Every structure is written in structure tokens, then in C-alpha cells.
Chains A and B, each alone.
Chain A
Amino acid sequence: MANLVTMQRSNYGEADGQTVERFVLDNGAMSVAILSWGAIIQEIWAPDRAGTRANVNLGFATLEPYLQKHPHFGAVLGRFANRLGPSSFELDGTTYAVTENKPGFSAHGGAKPFDMYPWTAKETSVDGHPAVELGFVSPDGDEGYPGTLTVSLTYSLSPSHELKLDYVASTDKPTVVNLTNHAYFNLASEGSGSIDDHHLQLDCSYYTPTDASQVTTGEITPVEGTVFDFRSERRIGDALRDARDPQLKLARGLDHNFVIDRPHDLPRSIVPVGRLLDPGSGRAMRVATSEPGVQVYASNSLDGSIAGHSGRLYRQGDAICFETQAFPNAPNRPNFPSTVVRPDAPYRSTTIYTFETEWSDDRV
């Protein structure tokens, strides 16, 4: 019973003249709701140590707020996630100017990121279980980026509580690509309060510092001896207030790209990123990815002005994001892993969020 994954498909309204669909994947113990609008993860209902499900993903209970500007709850961002500064880059000898939607840089792909479009949806299967494949085409020149980019994202849920995101993107001209999902997690349930008491551990020995605009400088700095050292589990609330490090101060908390430790001979294999635990509910989550980096963001810009799925207002620090990604601003930082995608080799990326209870291997 518990290993049977089902998928329900329903109409969820209309946007941009297209029907928005909602897909609910359920494995008997947990469920995930996906919207075709913005390829958004709307809900993740995960069990606590007693088996009680709660929605651990910030978002909205209806479609309408997703159609407005929002903090990218559960959304897929592209064509180039995170900050590109300056808002231009050089590729094969040509300089491309992209939309500068923030002073001095381009954020999350430009004025209209991929989460502000309807995606196509079709049913598929992954490892024999039902899954949903969402599709989107970004035209040549979209926000200034070269090449028609055809994106596919397949969401699947395994019987063992793995929510998997498989991205594929192909182009008809050389371009740069960085895709991520901006899901905000609160393992005690969205709207329940702060994630200060959550524990975080990251398999990351380096991070990429930024300038005052939070654009990466190109440095790759050891976390050793800094507030960014989460190689051993730490309570998040303690780290968020540690003002000794100017990098932490300029982001008003954690909002940094961590370099995921990875064997050199496995450049694109799926490796552990880290894990998150809510001691109160016992809910835990592991993150794994094929990407080189992860933006760990402690929702420093939530400010109590947005009411979410449960009708509760989201305050600063009520969630944490794990945006698996290429290093931000890679097109302007030659020492970072390349984000160039050419017509002969599609972009491929996989991220897995695994939900469990407790950290059974090392906790007493």
C-alpha cells in the first residue's frame, strides 16, 4: 500500500488564456501538489514522527496570488537563476545584454522569470511510478538571452519519499542556463513560525562570497572558521544572528551559494547537499543534486506582509530555501564551472528532496 504512488490531475483555473492544471502525487504517507503555472510546487505534505502530515512548503491555497509578484514560492526560476552582475555576459565573442531588473544586475532571469508563465503538462512515469512532465519554451532573445530554449521539468515522488526534479533544456544556439526551484521549507509546517530552531548540516566546505549587491565576486572561500561552516549540524537561529562576518551582515542573514563537496571524478553525479531537521516535529529533509552549488536562503526578506496557504503571515526567517544551482554569475566568472549550453548537448540537472523523520544515523 505504502509503495503505491498515485497521481491526480485536475483543472485549477486559467491564466494567460491557458488552463492551469494541478497534479497531486501521493505515495500513501506523503503528497506533493504541483501547478502547471510556473512549474510551482504548491504543497508538500510530509509526515512527522507520529505520521501526521503537514504542509512544509510555503505558498498559497489558490492560484490567484501566484499570478502576481510574489517571493517565488515553490517556483522554477530561469533562464539564469540568481544574480548576474553586470547584467550582461560574453559568449563566443558576442556580448549579450540581459534585462537589468535590479540596480546593477539581473535577478532570476530578468523581468519575467519562468515562474510567471504557464507551462504545458503531460503525464509520464519515473521508475514505474506516475509523474508529471512540465514544458516551457523560452524564445530566442527572451530577456536578452540567445537561443530558443526548450525546457522540460519532471516532478516525481517515490515510495521512499523522494521528491525528484529532473530538468532537461535544449537550445538551438549557444546560451547560458541555470535552473532552480525556489521552494521555501518549514518542516514544522508553513505558517507555524520561525525556522530558528531547525538544525542544518551542509556537505559544503566552500562558499562563494558576494559584493554589497549580493553578486558573487568570483572568490571561492573555505567555510572553515566562519559562520558559514555547517559541516557539523548547527541550530540555524544561532548562525543567522552572528554579525562577526560581514558576508552574513550584507545579506541580513544566510543567502549564499555554497559549493557542494563532490569527488572530482563525478562532475555531474547526484551527491548529498545536506539536511534539515525540525526537532519539534521530528521531520527531516535531505537534499541531493547534480548541481555544483546550492543557495541557502533563510527567507530574510519575508516581513509579515504576505499571508500564505494556511492564512498565516510569513515573517522574516519563517522558512529556508535550498536552491540547487550553478554558481551565481558564472557567465561573468571564468573560474566558476561553465553554464554554457550548446545545441549538441542538452542541459541536464537533477535535484532530490527526501523527507524522513529524525536523523537516524547519528542521533541518540
Chain B
Amino acid sequence: MTVFDPTGTDAHTLGNSRGMAVTILGYGAIIQSIVVPDRDGLLANVVLGFDRFSEYVEKSPYFGAVVGRYANRIAGGAFRLGGVDYQVPVNNGPNSLHGGIEGFDRQHWTTSGSDGSSITLRHSSADGDQGYPGNLAVSITYTLTEANQLQLEYTATTDAATVVNLSNHAYFNLGGEGSGSILDHVTQLNAGYFLPVDASLIPTGEVAPVAGTPFDFTNPKVIGRNIRDGRDIQIGYGRGYDHTFVLDGWSADSSDLAVAAVITDPGSGRRLTVSTDQPGVQFYTGNFLDGTCTGSSGRVYRQGDGLCLETQHFPNSPNQPRFPTTELEPGDMFRSKTIFGFSAE
């Protein structure tokens, strides 16, 4: 493993007694590395990223970053809230993606409360930032436990009604970043439904059963099994998986965590268990990685060399009254929690 050059930001490493280590950057609240053992105790960094901070600024496809103020897409970058029309930057085809051109992933967050196993990062997004209303105060606390769990706890408060959707865009490769494709990873998603999209990847509003489709990961399945199924237009739109899965049993009235996804790499035995209190998870198979980026170990990332499990509210919710609300009012606190738990089998 190479040594990370943090020039331009601050880097913080969390560790535990079991050999696991996580490096967090102040810029973008980025998870730069997650080093975990395999079934033989061999350590590897299982998240994609760069070995120099400057590359995160120049060309990162959101590697490891916290995305917001609105993670994922808003159709046309437009929404109506409290009778007012808002326009946010259109930066992804006809849509707004991950909060706009200068989203939370491109901000220098303020760090506080780092004690070696936990760190809190804060960011203030001003009223009108990227077109969104309300001064939003955001925090994320990363905590590494002795159980090899990386916990992500988000909060946000506002002084005017706004919309909020926060997620982390880490790309995982449990064989080690740069080791090759993730299409042989075995994946299980606790989602009986997914959100079909249009050609620009905006959910149509339909909540479709996964049964009988390539989107059925209710039982463990190798990712590559159906990812080339050209009969399914949804796969074609995403050039693979790039869809929100609707997590079973979610309730707006409960903040309980439930297991969303279990990913296993047969080669190394490493397993990632994702738990969240969010209603959805965007399962993205690195379809737009194309061999342009060289990662932290000096290896090129090709299509499908990483996968994301972006726990989140549904894309385009501000324009879909049927989706769980993403509105945040003054006096209320947005909270969400996700756990990336690592083990080996």
C-alpha cells in the first residue's frame, strides 16, 4: 500500500485493536481508505480512491465522498417547495446530481472530536448554496468499532424549509481496490422492490417488484450473472446496475437500523454488511469507470472495478409526492445512520 499524500487537506486515521484502519479526509468528508483483513488476516484497502489529495479535486467520480445537499438526481434540477420554485445546477445530462457542481463532496469540512476511533466533520451550507434554500448545518460522525464496523451518523438542521438527502459514495472492492472486477462478488439486497428509471436515470415513480428481473438480489447472487442482460431496458439505461433498491420493512416512524445489503468476495472471503435507517440503497456497479482513473495502489480502475451502496432517500423525491418526504423544516433535525460492517468467512 502506498502512503497517502494529504497536501491540501487534513487526513485522520481511525484504528482498532483488530488491525482495521480507516482514513477520513477533511475535504468532502471522504473515506480515503478502509483497510480490513481477509479470511487469512491479510490486510487490503477495500475502497477506491487516490494516493494524492490533489486528484480528488481534479477528477474524482465521488470516490468515498459525502454527497449532498441532495444525493442522487433531481429531474431538471428543479423542484417546488412551499409554493416557491427552486432551480439547482444541472450537471448530469438534463438533471442535477449529488447537490450540484460544488456539492458537499467538494467542500472543506471542519473536523472536531477526533479520538482515534471516532471523528466528527461539520459543514455549513449557506442559504442559496447551489440554489437550495436555508442555511444548512451538516455533520457526519465516523466511528470505527472493535467489531470492525464503520458507523456513519449524519445530522442536519436548517433555518428555512429545504430538502436534504445525504449519502456516502464509497466504491468497494472487497478483493482490494485495483484488484479487478467486482462482478464476481456475491450480493444480497433486502429489497423486494426497486425504482425503475427513465433514460436519464430519473425514477419513473413506479415501485416495481424485483421478482423475475435482473434486479432480484433477495437471495445471494453473483453480480455478473444478470448485469449483461440486454433484454432488460433498465440494465441498458444504467449500463449495469445504477438503481435505487427499496429496502424491505422501512418505516418513516422508526429509526431502527436494518440490514440492507450483504456483499461477499469469494476470493478473499471478505464480507461487507450494510445496515441503515434509510428507505433506499443506490446499488451502482461502477459502470462509468472506464480506465481513466489510476487508484491509490497505482492500478487503473476499469468498468465494474468497484461497487457503491449509497444508503439514501429516493432520488428525485422533491418531485415525487408518492416517495417518502425529504423536506426538512426549521426546528427539526435530520438524522440518518449507516453501518459498514466487515467480516471474513
Contacts and interface: CB of A to CB of B under 8 A. Distances in A.
B68 to A, nearest CB: 28
B239 A304 contact: yes
Contact of B291 (A196, A244, A253, A313): A253
B303 A243 contact: no
A242 B300 contact: yes
B128 interface: no
B290 A317 contact: no
Contacts of B301: 241
A193 B239 contact: no
Given A304-B240, A317-B303, A243 B298 contact: yes
B181 A196 contact: yes
Interface in B211-266: 224, 227-231, 235-236, 239-240
Interface in A219-239: 237
Contacts of B224: 193
B302 interface: yes
B291 A316 contact: yes
B180 interface: yes
Contacts of A312: 228-230
B183 interface: yes
B230 A311 contact: yes
B290 A316 contact: yes
A313 B239 contact: yes
A279 to B, nearest CB: 15
Contacts of A311: 229-231
A300 interface: yes
B178 interface: yes
A240 B302 contact: yes
B181 A194 contact: yes
A248 B228 CA distance: 26
Contact of B180 (A196, A313, A315, A316): A196
A315 B240 contact: yes
A249 interface: yes
B300 A243 contact: yes
Nearest to A192: B228
Contacts of B183: 193-194
A335 interface: no
A95 interface: no
A248 B300 CA distance: 9
A243 B299 contact: yes
A303 B288 CA distance: 8
Interface residues of B, number: 27
Given A241-B302, A253-B291, A307 B230 contact: yes
B239 A241 contact: no
Nearest to B301: A241
Contacts, number: 87
Residue among A241, A307, A317 with the highest chain B CB neighbour number at 10 A: A241
Contact of B303 (A242, A244, A249, A316): A316
Given A194-B183, A315-B304, A317-B303, A300 B240 contact: no
B241 to A, nearest CB: 10
Interface string B147-185: 000000000000000000000000000000010110100
B287 interface: yes
B91 interface: no
Query: Chain A binding site: helix, strand, loop or mixed by DSSP?
Result: loop
B294 A316 contact: no
Interface string A290-329: 0000000000100111011001111111000000000000
Contact of B290 (A191, A237, A303, A314): A303
Given A193-B224, A315-B240, A317-B303, A241 B178 contact: yes
A300 B291 contact: yes
A313 B300 contact: no
A308 B294 CA distance: 29
Nearest to A302: B303
A312 B226 CA distance: 9
B292 interface: yes
A252 interface: yes
Contacts of A244: 298
Contacts of A252: 290-292, 300, 302
Nearest to A300: B291
A194 B299 CA distance: 17
Contacts of B178: 241
Contacts of B300: 240-243, 248-249, 252-253
Interface of B: 178, 180-181, 183, 224, 227-231, 235-236, 239-240, 287, 290-292, 294, 298-305
Given A313-B230, A316-B304, 4 more contacts: A193-B183, A194-B183, A304-B228, A316-B302
21 contacts: A196-B180, A241-B180, A241-B299, A241-B300, A241-B305, A242-B299, A243-B299, A244-B298, A252-B290, A252-B302, A253-B291, A303-B239, A308-B230, A311-B230, A311-B231, A312-B228, A313-B228, A313-B230, A313-B239, A315-B228, A315-B304
